[in-house]
Amino acid sequence: MSQILKTLSNKLFDLDVFLSALRSDYGLHLQPATSIAEFSTEDVVYSHSLLHKYFAKLEDMISYKHWTKPDVIYFHRLLTDEFVRRGIKHENTDSLDEFLE
């Protein structure tokens, strides 16, 4: 876990990069936003489900498309925090959710 946190602290994460990556990966038409709080609820839920799919792919790989485990873990945390803010129930479904504890 400390290696992942170290990697996260050494890497700059940018919401624009996240949105661009999702748009690029799946041709999504996510609305422009400067923070996850500006995402539509549909975009929050859908982006969250994509991160779980990415994480499953990353179980046997170093990267998937241009995503790494630390990227997915970081953005998953942001999205689940947004779930809480909006009162959306988040259920733990796989090993990605273990990083929330």
Residue 37 has pLDDT above 70, yes or no: yes
Measure the CA dihedral 83/51/9/40, to 10°.
-40
Stretch among 3-17, 24-38, 57-71 having the lowest mean pLDDT: 3-17
| Res 7: pLDDT | 45
In the 8-state DSSP scheme, what is residue 39?
Answer: S
Q: Where do the H-state alpha helices sit in the chain?
A: 2-10, 15-26, 41-57, 69-86
Which neighbouring-strand residues pair with 63?
68
- Does the pLDDT of residue 6 top 70, yes or no? no
- Tens digits of residue pLDDT in 79-93: 899 999 999 998 888
Angle (CA) 33 75 56, round 5°: 130
Residue 32 DSSP one-character state: P
Alpha carbon 27 to its chain centroid, in Å, reads 17
